[in-house]
Amino acid sequence: MDENTKKRILTGDRPTGRLHLGHYVGSLRTRAELQDAYDEIIEVADVQALTTHFEKPELIKQSILDVTIDNLSVGLDPDKVTIFQQSQIPSIAELTIFYSMIVSCNQLRHNPTIKTEAKNYGYTDLSYGFLGYPVSQTADITFCNAHLVPVGEDQLPHIELARKIVRKFNALYGTSIVEPEAKVSSTGRLSGLDGNAKMGKSLGNALYLSDTPEEIWNKVKVAVTDPAKIHLHDPGHPEVCNVYKYHCVFNKEEAPGISEQCKKGELGCVACKKRLNAVLNNLLDPMRERRAYYEQHPDEVKDILAKGNKRCNEIGNQNLAEIKEKMHILVK
């Protein structure tokens, strides 16, 4: 199958820092698995990053390359996938404006994910851009007529909104914009080794894909385990242990044996952490190799983005010309 017959996926990351194992489990791993079967388009969502980080342009600038390299490091092949930078695609901005005419503010205000995020960021009076980011996200997905959007549960209200916008827009103007479908990640959230329900970069508990073996071990060795297991031979309770949770995610085959040994008091926490550390480094080592290559060849990374921007501009400009024609705003 060539890219013309494959279904298209749109996915991406906000460049607000480096990506971590939570991102890997939640999306990057699936991205790598799907890169052959789909025409996969990956957005470095720098405009969306501005909705919360507009006062940190230097962080966004640095993160554009970091996040691109993070994606390449997990084995995404630049000859198969398209990676582009949101701000470089004017058709996305235009489409956002058109969509904004047919979305009500209340629809956005009642979006549960917007509410939760606004609360987490401590926003009381939302900016126009933040309140409207699901509209901009709809334009991200539809400027290229993506069929599928791999998402976590938190993103479902946004995909629902995107589908509503597309249906309304198509009905109004007779356009044939593809109504996207969500592909919900089955893995769910990766918790933090500190016991937090989520690994997150602002929670200070992230294991970054770019961490060195020393950095990984320094984080793994202080992980909170079963508080009732103090001595090596105390019987443990894997069901309440953060390290065991990680064995279940990253070391599936050995996890049942580890659980047995821990419960019988045959496996100490330090040895258990060392085993997890080894498994994590086995996963990260090939990523480190690819990362080292790209870090030594930054021009190649910039070329990958430039190539992606070019392709997305071709797709977007063509689609926008058709859309404007249907909207009767193209004077010929």
The site for ligand ATP (CB under 6 A) is made up of 14, 16, 22-23, 25-27, 152, 154-155, 189-190, 198-203
Q: Would you say 81 or 320 has its CB closer to ligand ATP?
A: 81
Q: Would you say 198 or 310 has its CB closer to ligand ATP?
A: 198
For residue 5, with 0-12 CB atoms within 10 Å meaning exposed, 13-18 middle and 19 or more buried, which class applies? Answer: exposed
Rounded-to-integer distance, Cα 272 and Cα 235, Å: 13
**Residues 137/13, Cβ–Cβ less than 8 Å:** no
> Could you tell me the smallest distance in angstroms from the CB atom of residue 205 to ligand ATP?
9
> Could you tell me the smallest distance in angstroms from the CB atom of residue 224 to ligand ATP?
16
243: CB partners within 8 A, 6+ apart: 193, 220, 223, 225, 269, 272, 273, 276
Q: Would you say 203 or 292 has its CB closer to ligand ATP?
A: 203
Give which of 219, 209, 201 is closest to 287, Cα–Cα.
209
Q: Would you say 6 or 189 has its CB closer to ligand ATP?
A: 189
> Could you tell me the smallest distance in angstroms from the CB atom of residue 196 to ligand ATP?
9
> Could you tell me the smallest distance in angstroms from the CB atom of residue 182 to ligand ATP?
12
Question: Residue 232: how many CA atoms within 13 Å on its side-chain side?
Answer: 5
> Could you tell me the smallest distance in angstroms from the CB atom of residue 276 to ligand ATP?
16
> Could you tell me the smallest distance in angstroms from the CB atom of residue 170 to ligand ATP?
27
Q: Would you say 132 or 200 has its CB closer to ligand ATP?
A: 200
Rounded-to-integer distance, Cα 119 and Cα 124, Å: 8
Backbone angles phi, psi at 178, to 5 degrees: -70, 130
Q: Would you say 67 or 315 has its CB closer to ligand ATP?
A: 67
